[in-house]
Chain A
Amino acid sequence: MISICVKHLNKRYRAKDGDVAALADVDIDVAEGEFVTIVGPSGCGKSTLLYILGGFIGADGGIIEINGKAVTGPGVDRGVVFQEYALFPWLTVAQNIRYGLEMSGAPRQRCEETVERLVRTIGLQGFEHRFPRELSGGMKQRVAIARTLAYDPKILLLDEPFGALDAQTREVMQDELLRLWQATRKTVMMVTHDVNEAVYLSERVLVMSQRPGRIVQEFKVTIDRTCEREVTVLNKNFNQLRNEVWLAVRRQAGARSV
């Protein structure tokens, strides 16, 4: 079952002296329950693609379908996590997590239970009534993820979710995301500039070209994800694959020597 279907997607931006093509002829298929990551050089348009999928900006041509239906705007079928967390600063942790559920009109009892469960899942017991300004970056991102999971969207769109975190927190969060995905098996499309992260987490890595972005290469990742991070990262296959992807991105970024 194809969850996300993108065909011949085009996006242009108006500039003072003519149009700038951001995306040109992008084709992607993501099956249900798949974890796919898009990598590419800076400014290639990968975030733009995600925003179009999220329904926040429109495309100029092509087909975008989620579960067979065309995308017309944002919706509760696609949960989004942004790099800047985008938490509502005037709401507490619990209120933030509860927000999506409230919007869908769920009964209070269910909201309470879900919030409690998620708070425990992300390990922030005791912080339910704190405001986002009192949390660290990693904690904020956990709340952002919990908030998105609360109303159980089938698809998750992640825009460089760990980009604002320090290296160690990033590793912890990657493992947590992996665990969550393995438990819920949602369809995930992630955008990142971190090639390591892409190979570590996803089943498929798509490489996007320089602007105007199009998908130019695809890597299937078949590493064993049941081991600890240390085992996985030091594994020869992992490193070989990661290097190949890294080179592919470098090539797209215009490095002459490759």
Chain B
Amino acid sequence: MSFAPRTWLRSGAPSVSLRAAWHYLPIAIVLLAWQLVVEFDLVDRAFLPSFGETLSALWEMTRNGEIGFNLLVSIYRAFAGLAMGSIIGVAIGLAMATSRRADEFFGPLVATTYSLPKSSLVPLFILWFGIGDVTSIVSVLLACLLPVIVSTYHGVQSVPPVIVWSARAMGTPHHLILWRILLPSSLLSIFTGVRIALGFCFVLTISVEMIAAKTGIGKLIFLYGENGAYAYMFGGLLAIVIVAYAADRTLLAAMNHLLRWDDSIHAAHVGG
């Protein structure tokens, strides 16, 4: 998905790494501008440490393991909640799409809680579970649940009836229809929901850690911010932005591979 002016492309086939460099060049320009703006005192250093300072702070935190530890804690919480939320979400979505009763039961619950900002439950969870992993994981689980339920439901609902009919005409027993026909058919939808949930899982984890936690990258950023060590705060921020980006790209790559048979995935291209 690289972009270059037409004339440059026409002059030959640029190699993959050259293409990537061109694609990310705007970011390099922004970082350079950041560095220069601070170096030439266009902005008060108290408010904005330079990119260089941020990098060295990040390096220091990496060396003493601070970043590694806190990132791992946050990633553990985020992914544990995401995994559980996704699995339960797919199960509920499947149930709602195939059983009238499940739809009648879960439907109103889903429609109502959809509009509830899950972070509003954090103070309640702190009250119930205290400050620790459980609060984070439960918050993330709930936040990830809904988008996955909704996208699974829509995916299964949109399976063309002739596909199910063909499967039944070819002797597929009832219990296999779900597993071998409905699920693969709705995979694109499900993955789209999981991608949304992926975004949520980081937001909720950071939110919980900033509201009240002992460890985690959110807590790290918050603490350094409170204490005025802004280079370190920016360093932590940079770390989590990179992690979130990498996670998103990884999921996209997995999607593109697992869904290489899907027609519409080759048309869709999300995320700008």
Q: Give A residues with C-beta under 8 Å from B.
A: 51, 54-56, 73-76, 78-80, 82, 84, 86, 88-91, 99-100, 103-104, 131-133, 147-148, 151
Contact = CB atoms under 8 A, between A and B. Distances in A.
B166 interface: yes
Given A88-B185, A104-B171, 6 more contacts: A79-B169, A82-B166, A84-B160, A86-B163, A103-B171, A133-B261
10 contacts: A55-B169, A76-B169, A79-B170, A80-B166, A84-B162, A88-B163, A90-B262, A103-B170, A131-B261, A133-B262
Given A88-B163, A88-B184, A75 B169 contact: yes
A9 B188 CA distance: 41
Contacts of B167: 88, 99
Nearest to A105: B171
Contacts of B173: 103
A132 B263 CA distance: 9
Pairs of residues from A and B, 7 with the lowest C-beta to C-beta distance, nearest first:
A100-B170, A131-B261, A86-B162, A74-B168, A103-B171, A90-B184, A74-B169
Contacts, number: 69
A88 B263 CA distance: 12
Interface in B133-175: 160-163, 165-173
Contacts of A91: 261
B170 A86 contact: no
B188 to A, nearest CB: 10
B165 A54 contact: yes
B108 to A, nearest CB: 25
A89 B163 CA distance: 10
B126 interface: no
Contacts of A75: 169, 171
B88 interface: no
Given A80-B165, A86-B160, A86-B162, A132 B171 contact: no
Contacts of B45: none
A91 B170 CA distance: 15
Contact of A76 (B170, B185, B260, B263): B170
Nearest to B166: A86
Given A82-B162, A84-B160, A73 B263 contact: no
A54 B169 contact: yes
Contacts of A82: 162, 165-166
Contacts of A79: 169-170
B212 interface: no
A131 B173 CA distance: 24
A82 B162 CA distance: 7
A25 B160 CA distance: 30
Contact of A73 (B163, B168, B262): B168
B260 A151 contact: no
A76 B261 contact: no
B184 A133 contact: no
Nearest to B262: A89
B181 interface: yes
B170 A90 contact: no
B181 A74 contact: no
A56 B261 contact: no
B250 to A, nearest CB: 21
A131 B181 CA distance: 16
A148 B184 CA distance: 21
Contacts of A104: 171
Nearest to B165: A56
B171 A100 contact: yes
